Amino acid sequence: MPQEDREAHQEQSNEPISLHSQSMSMSLESLVAMLESQRNDIKQLQHSADKSRALPARSTESEAKDLLRKVKFNGKHFSAFKIKFQNICQLRHIWDIITGAELPPDNDCPDEEMYAYEDKVTLAKSYLQTSLSNDVFDMIREDNTPSEMWKTLIANFETKEWSNTIYVLRRLCNLRYEPKMDMLKHIGKVRATIRELSDMGKAISEQETVEWILISLPDSGPDNYTSFINHLKPTPQHEIKLKTLISALLNKEEKRNERHRTAVQNVHVIWISSASGKSTTTQLRVK
């Protein structure tokens, strides 16, 4: 075969291989482009999901704002305020910002992460300032971060509240029921003092409330409650329900008042006037 014919035949033989290689190269490029597009779509979905997790739902935001309107700290009952305020902040995921547990992200972090942190700091400041009275707000005015503001409140009110708790406990110990008192009002006074302690963070159970009421009753004299206490019927767990105790005390008070009314009705005063009107005789009979 002549040289020219062989070269022409070889070129014809290589042409399908070249076309096949070109086709494979184009298919590979298309596949790479498709995979890259899918990878970008996945990243966008992940970013949207992360953003949704970082930002609370609108309903949660509205709920937190509604609760925040009802929480106002004026310098009293810090423990009660702390619990309520913590619950509100946890709804918005900013409690760790306020306590200082969540630290700022690194400087080389993505911009979205830094923006999210700064938004939470701004929100935490707003919540703190909104929940304080003007007098209390003046105490934290110079603080820069939410955690500094919170530490100022802790230092000024949480320690002071401990001594106030001792004072209220002493007042509770001194509460005493007198026979001429209204029993329901006395019970209300004991329970109000206990609620005051609860607001200070001193939790008192129902059984302890029962015990405090019984302690306040007289244990000597004609109107002592020793027999009454001995006849109380506790549960198998040696407990007296508060409602049961109140009902029994009011029933005892009603019986005592009924005896008093009966005694008054049986007092007969007979005035016997002499003819001259200079002397009288009084006769009393008490049943």
Q: Tens of pLDDT along 236-286?
A: 777 889 999 999 999 998 988 888 777 766 654 444 444 445 544 444 444
Residue range of the domain that includes 210? 176-252
* pLDDT tens digit sequence for 260-272: 777 766 654 444 4
* Overall pTM surpassing 0.75 (yes/no): no
Residue 184 lies in a domain: yes
Structural contact between residues 83 and 77, judged by C-beta atoms closer than 8 angstroms: no
Q: Answer with the one of 163, 195, 226 that is the final residue of a domain.
A: 163
Helix (H) / strand (E) containing 280: strand 280-281
Helix (H) / strand (E) containing 275: none
Q: Answer with the one of 104, 131, 163 that is the final residue of a domain.
A: 163
Residue 186 has a CB neighbour count (10 Å cut-off) of 19
* pLDDT tens digit sequence for 177-227: 998 899 999 999 999 999 988 877 788 999 999 999 999 999 888 888 999
281 phi/psi in degrees, rounded to 5: -125, 135
What tokens does 3 get? 């040289």
Give the per-residue pLDDT at 21.
54
One domain for residues 198 and 144: no
234: pLDDT strictly greater than 90? no
One domain for residues 108 and 186: no
Q: How many independent structural domains does the chain possess?
A: 2
Give the per-residue pLDDT at 151.
95
Of 53-62, 93-102, 107-116, 242-251, the one with minimum mean pLDDT is: 53-62
* pLDDT tens digit sequence for 61-100: 677 677 777 888 998 888 888 888 999 999 899 999 999 9
Give the per-residue pLDDT at 272.
43
Alpha helices (H) in the chain, listed in sequence order: 3-54, 58-69, 78-91, 95-99, 111-130, 134-140, 146-153, 159-173, 183-199, 206-215, 226-230, 242-265
One domain for residues 92 and 136: yes
One domain for residues 190 and 107: no
One domain for residues 181 and 126: no
Q: Answer with the one of 111, 136, 163 that is the final residue of a domain.
A: 163
CA pair distance 108, 121, nearest whole angstrom: 19
Burial 100-109 (b: 16+ CB within 10 A, else e): eebeeeeeee
Residue 241 lies in a domain: yes
* pLDDT tens digit sequence for 159-180: 777 778 888 999 999 999 998 8
Using the structure block, give the residue that is written with the tokens 């329900």. Answer: 241
Structural contact between residues 240 and 174, judged by C-beta atoms closer than 8 angstroms: no
Residue 155 lies in a domain: yes
